[in-house]
Amino acid sequence: MTAAPLAEAPVSHRLTALDRCDACGAQAYIAAEVGGSELLYCAHHGRKFEEKLRAVATNWHDETAKLQD
């Protein structure tokens, strides 16, 4: 038996209607981990802050694809 290779993390849909944008309070679709804490943003603010956030974020989680379902 060989160890299974590390699986690619599936695109998870872990944000719920209870997760709210830190900027406006709308439902969050983007989560950015910055300095060990997680910032949540709606699609609008996620896009607005994406360039700056990605420069400092250690993790970027985007569920905006759900909006196109």
Token pair 């360039």 in the structure block, residue = 51
The mark string for 32-61 relative to Zn ion (x by CB under 5 A, - otherwise) is ----------x--x----------------
Count Cα neighbours of 5 within 13 Å in the Cβ-side half-sphere: 3
Nearer to Zn ion, 23 or 33 (CB): 23
Asked whether position 23 contacts Zn ion by CB under 5 A, the answer is yes
Half-sphere exposure of 18 (CA within 13 A, CB side): 1
Q: In what order do the strands lie in the sheet with 37-41?
A: 37-41, 30-34, 59-62
Q: How far is the CB of 40 from Zn ion (least distance, A)?
A: 9
Instruction: Count the residues of the shown chain that bind Zn ion, applying the rule CB under 5 A.
Output: 6
Is 67 near Zn ion (CB under 5 A)? no
